[in-house]
Amino acid sequence: MPALFISQTRNSPLETAGLTVQETVWSEPEGEPRPGFRDRTCVRDGQEVWLAEFSESFVKDDWCTEGHLFHVLAGESTLRLRDGGRAIRLRPGDTGILLAGEAHAHGIEPAAGERIQILLFEQP
């Protein structure tokens, strides 16, 4: 099964659910701040939604092995898959599924001047 599926859509999953980023009650981030990375989370009906922003100063210190449904709100960046180093260009409106596990490890790699905002829906 492919590790990634991407499609273009006009509305974000939050808008489809009748929510907006501005109206949603988001928790403040926990832990130490990381350069080039900001995030907030909310839980609705047991589903955790994570609003993440990556910018050019973000340094990927490890591969992510968690599964996600994601939607790109704004900006562009490269998503790299560890399996052979495939690189996928993410743009506003892209929606995709990243499967969990070592075989599907992935990471965001913003280039100079890039910033991307992504909604991530965590798999239970």
pLDDT, tens only, 23-71: 555 556 567 778 888 888 887 778 888 888 999 999 888 999 999 899 9
Asked if residue 93 belongs to a domain, the reply is yes
Q: Mean pLDDT, the chain, as a whole number?
A: 80
H/E segment holding residue 46: none
* Residue pair 29/38 in contact by the 8 Å Cβ criterion: yes
Asked if residue 31 belongs to a domain, the reply is no
Asked if residue 82 belongs to a domain, the reply is yes
**Number of independent structural domains in the chain:** 1
User: Widest CA span of the chain, in angstroms?
Assistant: 40
Whole domain around residue 79: which residue ranges? Answer: 4-21+50-122
pLDDT above 70 (res 4): no
Asked if residue 28 belongs to a domain, the reply is no
Asked if residue 11 belongs to a domain, the reply is yes
pLDDT range class, residue 88, cuts 50, 70, 90: very high
Asked if residue 27 belongs to a domain, the reply is no
pLDDT above 50 (res 2): no
- 80 Cβ contact list (under 8 Å, min separation 6): 86, 87, 88, 106, 107, 108, 109
* Residue pair 115/56 in contact by the 8 Å Cβ criterion: yes
Give the Cα separation of 56 and 13 in Å (integer).
26
CATH code for the domain in which residue 82 is found = 2.60.120.10
Higher model confidence: residue 80 or residue 22? 80
Asked if residue 43 belongs to a domain, the reply is no
Higher model confidence: residue 22 or residue 79? 79
